[in-house]
């Protein structure tokens, strides 16, 4: 029988996401895929499965879920309060969800996008080679109350594992490389950009996030006469009023505003996860430095599975603590005497 996950109650921005569909830029279709690609890798490591499998991306908050048959689940990305039948469960960990149980995932305690992974992955229809919803293009949809997704076959049984997630949920400093239009900005404006603290605006979605400088906006020497040109996720586009936008996985494929630089792919999850009000800063690195950083990160990501460990349960999370036999070997207190005798 086909296992399914039912969304009993959906948060505001929940969609199926995998690593996206490459190969359609020439037709104006950006890749889409999880805005925090690292979270997909962490979920796959926890469940010991292929990182290309699709998961549920949950913006801001989760929802309530049930499965038709016992299913392994893992939770990664922005930490959210989660419980199974009222018993708190750990984030960045794998758990067993039995048929009839209710998995509740609340609001993010930091960061923006949480991920619910299923053992066997989500087994939905592919459109142009991927399951990722691309809402701006009209592919897929936001999931709502009562929607179900089909779960792929799972050959494994291991749960109760945890992973130490790379910190990326509270803003911070992200690395940026010069790109094709960086020269449109005076050196003094680039220096000021690096010295500026930005607050992530309330305006933001899977296409990109607006970041508000703590000083003046940024001026270009090119003005508004720039020809529309190719744009990619990570690009920092400076709009007419001087406010930058950082583009994410569902961005358009061309843009008419000048780009001051482009965020390293490995640092983009930190931008995507920053919640409204979080502070972001940018540090330029050379392409050579970027390659060295990405190479090191690629090795770390390949060995993520090695950093998965068995979970040690926190007694506070065990609802039926008192029913456990916590002290073994209690005796009447006369053992020694009896042994002697």
Partner 1 sequence: MKNMQTATWPKVKTAGFDGFLISFGDQLNEPANRAALAFRDALERAGLAAVQETSTSLVSTYLRFDPLAFDHEAMRGELTALLAERNWFDADLPKGRKLWRVPTVYEGDFAPQLDEAAQAAGLTTAEAIASISTSRVRVQTIGFAPGMPYLGALPEVWNIPRQTALNAQTPAGGLCVAIRQLVLFPVATPTGWRHIGQTAFRLFRPETDAPFALRPGDEVVFEQTTPEAFAKMQNDPDGGAVSEVIA
Q: Which span (46-54, 59-67, 78-86, 175-183) binds partner 1, by CB under 8 A?
A: 175-183
The only residue of 47, 260, 264, 274 in contact with partner 1, by rule CB under 8 A:
264
Q: CB neighbours (10 Å) of residue 13? A: 17
Q: What's the rounded Cα separation, in Å, for the pair 131 and 17? A: 6
Is residue 8 a contact point for partner 1 (CB under 8 A)? no
Residues 257 and 226: beta-carbon distance below 8 Å: yes
Q: How far is the CB of 140 from partner 1 (least distance, A)?
A: 9
- Of 73-81, 96-104, 152-160, 292-300, the segment contacting partner 1 by CB under 8 A is 292-300
Binding mask 227-256 for partner 1 (x = CB under 8 A): xxxx-x-xx----------------xxx--
Single out the residue of 4, 9, 13, 25 in contact with partner 1 (rule: CB under 8 A): 25
Smallest gap, in angstroms, from Cβ of residue 24 to partner 1? 7
Interaction mask 28-67, partner 1, x per CB under 8 A: xx--------------------------------------
Closest approach of partner 1 to the CB of residue 188, in Å? 22
Counting contacts by CB under 8 A, is residue 142 touching partner 1? no
Nearer to partner 1, 96 or 139 (CB): 139
Binding segment (CB under 8 A) for partner 1, from list 64-72, 202-210, 272-280, 285-293: 285-293
Cβ atoms within 10 Å of 130's Cβ, excluding its own:
24
Query: 158: closest CA among 81, 78, 45, 67?
Result: 45
Among 13, 84, 96, 128, binds partner 1 (CB under 8 A): 128
Sheet strands side by side (includes 80-84)? 87-89, 80-84, 103-108, 61-67, 4-10, 148-150
- Contact call for residue 27 and partner 1 (CB under 8 A): yes
The answer to whether the beta carbons of residues 132 and 17 sit under 8 Å apart is: yes
Q: Provide the b/e sequence for 72-89 (b: ≥16 CB within 10 Å).
A: bbbbbbbbbebbbeeeeb
Tell me the Ramachandran region of residue 322: left when phi exceeds 0, alpha when psi lies from -120 to 50, beta otherwise: alpha
CB neighbours of 326 closer than 8 A, spacing ≥ 6? none
Chosen residue from 26, 312, 326, 340 binding partner 1 by CB under 8 A: 26
Both tokens of 153, joined, read 């076959």
The residue range among 80-88, 135-143, 195-203, 327-335 that interacts with partner 1, by the rule CB under 8 A, is 135-143
Residue pair 105/61 in contact (Cβ under 8 Å)? The answer is yes
Does 265 bind partner 1 (CB under 8 A)? Our answer is yes
Tell me how many residues contact partner 1 (CB under 8 A): 38
Which residues fall within 8 angstroms of residue 333, CB to CB, at 6 or more apart? none
Name which of 72 and 168 has its Cβ closer to partner 1.
168
Pairing mode of beta strands 254-255, 244-247? unpaired
Segment interacting with partner 1, rule: CB under 8 A, options 1-9, 20-28, 187-195, 203-211: 20-28
Q: Nearest approach, Cβ of 83 to partner 1 (angstroms)?
A: 37
CA atoms 151, 154, 160, 163: torsion sign: negative
CB 80 within 8 A of CB 91: yes
Give 179 or 249: the residue with its C-beta nearer to partner 1: 179
Interactions with partner 1, residue window 58-117 (CB under 8 A): none
Q: Which is nearer to partner 1, 6 or 173 (CB)?
A: 173
Q: Are 266 and 4 in contact (CB under 8 A)?
A: no
The site for partner 1 (CB under 8 A) is made up of 22-29, 127-128, 136-139, 177-180, 227-230, 232, 234-235, 252-254, 262, 264-265, 287-288, 290-291, 294-295, 298
């Amino acid at each position: 029988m086909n296992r399914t996950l039912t969304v009993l109650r959906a948060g505001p921005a929940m969609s199926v996401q995998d690593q996206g569909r490459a190969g359609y830029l020439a037709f104006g279709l950006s890749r889409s895929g999880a805005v925090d690609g690292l979270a997909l890798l962490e979920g796959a490591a926890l469940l010991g499965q292929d990182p290309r499998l699709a998961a549920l991306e949950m913006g801001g908050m989760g929802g309530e879920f049930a499965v038709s048959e016992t299913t392994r689940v893992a939770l990664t990305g922005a930490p959210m309060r989660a419980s199974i039948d009222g018993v708190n469960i750990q984030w960045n960990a794998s758990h067993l969800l039995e048929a009839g149980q209710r998995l509740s995932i609340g609001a993010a305690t930091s960061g923006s996008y949480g991920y619910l992974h299923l053992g066997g992955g989500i087994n939905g229809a592919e459109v142009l080679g991927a399951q990722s919803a691309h809402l701006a293009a009209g592919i897929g949809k936001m999931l709502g109350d009562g929607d179900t997704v089909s779960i792929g076959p799972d050959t494994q049984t291991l749960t109760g594992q945890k992973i130490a997630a790379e910190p990326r949920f509270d803003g911070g400093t992200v690395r940026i490389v010069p790109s094709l239009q960086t020269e449109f900005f005076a050196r003094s404006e680039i220096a000021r950009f690096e010295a500026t603290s930005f607050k992530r605006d309330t305006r933001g979605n899977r296409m990109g996030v607006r970041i508000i400088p703590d000083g003046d906006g940024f001026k270009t020497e090119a003005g508004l006469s720039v020809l529309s040109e190719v744009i990619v996720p990570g690009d920092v586009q400076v709009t007419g009023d001087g406010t930058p936008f950082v583009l994410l996985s569902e961005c358009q494929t061309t843009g008419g505003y000048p780009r001051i630089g482009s965020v390293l792919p490995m640092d983009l999850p930190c931008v995507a996860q920053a919640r409204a009000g979080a502070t972001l800063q940018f540090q330029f690195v050379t392409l050579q430095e970027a390659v060295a950083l990405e190479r090191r990160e690629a090795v770390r990501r390949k060995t993520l599975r090695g950093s998965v460990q068995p979970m040690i349960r926190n007694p506070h999370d065990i609802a039926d603590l008192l029913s456990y036999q916590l002290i073994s070997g209690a005796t009447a207190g006369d053992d020694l005497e009896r042994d002697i005798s």
